Structure 1
Amino acid sequence: MSQYISGKCLCGACQFDYTGELRFTFQCYCRDCQHVTGAGHAPQLIVDRSRLMTKGPTKTYRQRADSGSMLEFIFCRDCGSPLLKATTRMPDSIAIYAGALDDPSLYQRGEDVFESGRQSWDHG
């Protein structure tokens, strides 16, 4: 079922729109996501990369994951809000951080991943 999703950063300079199917959702407990979000985990929605439309001044930070794949973390260049994450493991997909959604209720809890990185204080 096709769905419309929109979102933005804290200052509103960056926005995104997506129309299409949601592939899946998950909560990531890896240290990279903890550093990016400043939280114990990062809830994300995986969507078709070719259908995601973005506008605004973004900055991309690239880093190799423990798994060996390359990660791209996409932030608002102005306020630093994390918006998106991509991985070479899924080149046709992109993750949207649930906190950036205009309507966060669209996020439905999915699988917990990289739970070995879960902090004792994060009950996710």
Structure 2
Amino acid sequence: MSEKITGGCLCGKVTFEVNNSFTRFYFCHCQQCQKITGSAHAANLFTTPDAIKWISGQRLTKQYDDPDRDFTVVFCSECGSGLPFVTKTSKTLIVPAGSLNEDPNIHPNDNIFWAERATWYDEGTNANQCAGFPS
């Protein structure tokens, strides 16, 4: 397993390197993460704030801090891809797993906020699995 792995956004304008020493990996099913991702859940890795080195495009990142709830989202202002961010407490760096180019050092630990999961999620896990678009 590599000590450092790379990541970035879909358009490639924002890139980073992060220490591959994640301590937690959660699938978060809360309603906020459903809205942030446009999907059933977020897949977030947790590590220390100093674990990241921005390589390019950091000026293209945009941050949204919800004024009423304790959550943040950072994304590329060009393509909208989710990107790493430091929590409001400044104690944790959260890295969206889908932003990584290589596999992290850990597998998912927990499905959190399970009671808030999308009503269609359970059925979706039983849907056909296709290598590409269905024929």
- Fold similarity call, TM over 0.5: yes
Matches of 1:40 and 1:87 in 2, distance apart?
22
In the superposition, relative to structure 1, how do residues 115 and 12 fare at CA in structure 2: closer, same or farther (>3 Å)? Answer: same
Say yes or no: does 1:62 pair with 2:61. no
Residue 21 of structure 1, CA deviation? 2.0
Matches of 1:41 and 1:101 in 2, distance apart?
17
Residue in structure 1 matched with residue 98 of structure 2 by the alignment:
99
Matches of 2:87 and 2:51 in 1, distance apart?
17
Residue in structure 1 matched with residue 27 of structure 2 by the alignment:
27
Residue in structure 1 matched with residue 129 of structure 2 by the alignment:
none
Show CA shifts across 1:5-29 (max 9, x none). Answer: 2111010011111125211111100
Show CA shifts across 1:96-118 (max 9, x none). Answer: 11111102x33612211111210
Runs of 4+ displaced beyond 6 Å: none
Which residue type is aligned with residue 92 of structure 1? Answer: K
Structure 2 alignment gaps of length 5 or more: 126-135
In the superposition, relative to structure 1, how do residues 108 and 98 fare at CA in structure 2: closer, same or farther (>3 Å)? Answer: same
Aligned-residue CA RMSD in angstroms?
A: 2.2
Which residue type is aligned with residue 62 of structure 2? Answer: K
Q: Which structure's CA Rg is the greater one?
A: 2
Moved more, 1-10 or 109-118: 1-10
Structure 1 alignment gaps of length 5 or more: none
Residue in structure 1 matched with residue 43 of structure 2 by the alignment:
43
Show CA shifts across 1:24-72 (max 9, x none). Answer: 1111001111111110001111011112112311000111465xx3x22
Q: Are the equivalent residues in 1 in contact too, given 2:75–2:82 (CA < 8 A)?
A: yes
| TM norm structure 2 | 0.77
| TM norm structure 1 | 0.83
Residue in structure 1 matched with residue 72 of structure 2 by the alignment:
72
Residue in structure 1 matched with residue 110 of structure 2 by the alignment:
111
Which residue type is aligned with residue 99 of structure 2? Answer: A
Residue in structure 2 matched with residue 84 of structure 1 by the alignment:
84
